[in-house]
């Protein structure tokens, strides 16, 4: 890192009280260009040109808070890997296999007006395409930060859809990051769902507690969430991937949510160069429990275009890492599910017997209800990182 970069980083860490900042104003300080990034991270002229090409295809957006977590002395720092563009994002083919822009089948289940209704009992509404940070491993990489048609334009219309579909037991407000919307907008969305008696609960999916905890020091937001939660149960699924993301500021933001009565669950992604070792997974799960966040899912990295070839871990390697980590965790620590979020539905990776991967399908598309709860067996291969890469075999 340049001397200027070192000084600037030290200045941020030493002088900024993230709890006291206006969350909307601080967003204006986000690093969104390679020229801005150069003030914090040393880049060669070749790297600079490469990153400008990447950013042209997939925008960069890094809060100063999250940038301050990077270890400037470690070029392989996992925090840097999660937020700083990489030339490997331009790779669309390679040894890992085919890639796709839509691995989760969003397009097939798009009901318009930002609504994705894949399972009978759950519907998702994409409230915004904007996030406080654009994570480099995002499975909605083709959407986030770019204008698109899969965002809600009329939440009242979306709520009408939810009201008409009595089979729904819950709604997930997702994005982008819904908490990057103004607090009155968040309140208006929640208010539309409050009176739908067939909904057992509502979820607001957000990585803001991790990358932009500043948002949760807004008393008005916390009061909105507290008030809603007193009428209908509210969950916040969040997304800690590495123990270094669990800072005192993030822990305090989580505590503010918990004091409002909200349950926070964690949905990590298993990522090459970030958490693909036993020690990191064990530390992550234990630190989550320490701050009151429930380990819920560990997702296999999806075969997303411009993500798969530098972030996905082969399943043959990954299943052993996860199993060894579980052996070191207590009951609450090991209760997360290792998941493939596939087009056909969510699939739990249970483990392996020899070179055969044992899985169970947890959810299925409504047109194939018989597939729910079925067992799946696949032949592990050296590089296979996705269900479709593995041949079907008998147990």
Question: What is the SS3 string spanning the chain?
Answer: CCHHHHHHHHHHHHHCCHHHCCHHHHHCCCECCHHHHCCCCCCCHHHHHHHHHHHHHCCCCECHHHHCCCCCCCCCCHHHHHHCCCHHHHCCCCCCCCCECCCCCCHHHEEECCEEEEECCEEEEEEECCCCCCCCCCCCCCCCCCCCCCCCCCHHHHHHHHHHCCCCCEEEEEECCHHHCCHHHHHHHHHHHHCCCCCCEEEECCCHHHHCHHHHHCHHHHHHHHHHHCCCEEEEEECCCCHHHCCHHHHHHHHHHHHCCCEEEEEEEECCCCCCCHHHHHHHHHHHHHCCCEEEEEEECCCECCCHHHHCCCHHHHHHHHHHHHHCCCCCCCCCEEEEEECCEEEEEEEEECCEEEEEECCCCCCCHHHCCCEEEEECCCCCCCHHHCCECCC
Q: 7-21, 101-115, 183-197 — which one is most confidently predicted on average?
A: 183-197
pLDDT the model gives residue 6: 46
**pLDDT over threshold 80, residue 64:** yes
Where is average pLDDT lowest: 104-113, 163-172, 309-318?
A: 104-113
Q: What is the model's pLDDT at position 94?
A: 54
How many other CB atoms are there within 10 angstroms of residue 138's CB atom?
A: 21
- The overall average pLDDT reported for the chain is 90
Q: Could you tell me the CA-to-CA distances from 256 to 125, 163, 207, 226 in Å, in that order? A: 25, 31, 15, 10
So what's the pLDDT on residue 7?
42
- In this prediction, residue 73 carries a pLDDT of 80
Q: Give the model's confidence band at 139: pLDDT under 50 very low, under 70 low, under 90 confident, else very high.
A: confident
321-342 per-position pLDDT tens digit = 999 999 999 999 999 999 999 9
What pLDDT band is residue 95 in, cutting at 50, 70 and 90?
Answer: very low
**CA end-to-end span of the chain:** 53
Mean pLDDT of 59-65: 95
- Nearest Cα to Cα of residue 363 among 343, 379, 378, 377: 343
60 contacts 32 by C-beta, under 8 angstroms:
yes
Instruction: Say what the pLDDT of residue 3 is.
Output: 43
Q: Per-residue pLDDT averaged across 195-224, rounded?
A: 98
pLDDT per residue over 286-295, tens digit each?
Answer: 999 999 999 9
- Using alpha carbons, list the distances in angstroms from residue 34 to 27, 37, 52, 131: 17, 5, 6, 18
Structure token digits, residue 258: 């918990």
Of 131, 225, 136, the closest CA to residue 183 belongs to 225
Statement: residue 19 has pLDDT above 80: yes
Among 4-18, 77-91, 306-320, 363-377, which is the least confidently predicted range? 4-18
| Interatomic CA distance for residues 174 and 131, integer angstroms | 10
More confident residue, 389 or 72: 389
Could you state, in order of their start, the residue ranges of all structural domains in the chain?
3-90, 107-389
Question: What pTM does this model have?
Answer: 0.92
Reply yes or no on whether the pLDDT at 103 is more than 80: no
pLDDT more than 90, % of the chain: 74
**61-70, 135-144, 379-388: lowest mean pLDDT where?**
135-144
Interval 20-33 mean pLDDT: 97
Residue 237: pLDDT band (50, 70, 90) is very high
Percent of the chain at pLDDT above 70?
89
CATH for 107-389 is 3.20.20.70
Mean per-residue pLDDT, 131-137: 94
pLDDT at 214 over 90: yes
Q: Is the confidence at residue 86, as pLDDT, over 60?
A: yes
pLDDT of residue 176: 87
pLDDT at residue 225 above 80? yes
- Token pair belonging to 92: 């669309």
Could you tell me which residues come within 8 angstroms of residue 349 by beta carbon, excluding any fewer than 6 positions away?
Answer: 300, 315, 319, 322, 338, 339, 340, 357, 358, 359
**Among the listed ranges 15-19, 111-115, 181-185, 357-361, which one has the minimum average pLDDT value?**
111-115
> Could you tell me whether strands 201-204 and 233-238 are parallel, antiparallel, or unpaired per DSSP bridges?
parallel
pLDDT in tens, 5-17: 444 444 455 578 9
d(CA 337, CA 267): 9
Flag the least confident range among 38-52, 162-176, 192-206, 267-281: 38-52
Q: Using alpha carbons only, give the angle 133, 322, 122 rounded to the nearest 5 degrees.
A: 55
Q: Looking at residue 112, what is its pLDDT? A: 84
pLDDT value of position 141: 64
């Amino acid at each position: 890192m340049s001397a200027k970069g070192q000084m600037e980083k030290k200045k941020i860490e030493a002088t900024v009280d993230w709890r006291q900042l206006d969350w909307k104003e601080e967003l204006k300080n986000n690093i969104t260009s390679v020229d801005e990034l150069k003030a914090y991270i040393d880049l060669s002229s070749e790297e600079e040109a490469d990153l400008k090409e990447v950013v042209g295809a997939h925008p960069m957006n890094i809060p100063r808070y999250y940038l301050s977590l990077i270890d400037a002395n470690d070029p392989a720092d996992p925090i840097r890997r999660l937020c700083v563009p990489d030339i490997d994002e331009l790779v669309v083919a390679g040894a890992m296999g085919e890639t796709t822009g839509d691995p989760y089948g969003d397009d097939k289940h798009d009901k318009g007006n930002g609504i994705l209704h894949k399972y009978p009992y759950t519907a998702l509404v994409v409230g915004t395409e904007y996030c406080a940070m654009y994570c480099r491993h995002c499975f909605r990489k083709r959407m986030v930060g770019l204008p698109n048609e899969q965002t809600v334009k009329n939440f009242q219309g979306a709520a009408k859809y939810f009201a008409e579909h009595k089979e729904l037991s819950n709604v997930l407000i997702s994005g982008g990051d819904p908490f990057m919307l103004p607090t009155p907008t968040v309140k208006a969305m929640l208010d539309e769902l409050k009176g739908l008696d067939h909904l057992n609960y509502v979820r607001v999916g957000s990585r803001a507690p991790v990358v932009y905890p500043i948002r949760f020091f807004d008393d008005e937001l916390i009061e909105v969430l507290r008030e809603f939660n007193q009428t209908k149960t509210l969950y916040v699924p969040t997304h800690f991937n590495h123990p270094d993301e669990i800072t005192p500021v993030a822990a305090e933001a989580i505590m503010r949510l918990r004091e409002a009565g909200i349950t926070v669950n964690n949905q990590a992604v298993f990522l090459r160069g970030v958490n693909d070792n036993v020690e990191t997974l064990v530390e992550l799960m234990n630190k989550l429990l320490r701050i009151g966040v429930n380990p819920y899912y560990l997702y296999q990295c999806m075969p997303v275009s411009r993500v798969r070839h530098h972030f996905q871990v082969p399943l043959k390697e990954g299943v052993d890492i996860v199993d060894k980590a579980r052996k070191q965790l207590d009951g609450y620590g090991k209760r997360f599910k290792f998941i493939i979020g596939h087009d056909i539905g969510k699939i739990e990776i249970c483990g392996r017997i020899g070179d055969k991967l044992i899985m169970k399908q947890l959810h299925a598309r409504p047109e194939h209800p018989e597939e729910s709860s079925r067992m799946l067996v696949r032949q592990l291969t050296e590089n296979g990182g996705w269900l479709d890469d593995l041949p079907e075999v008998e147990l």
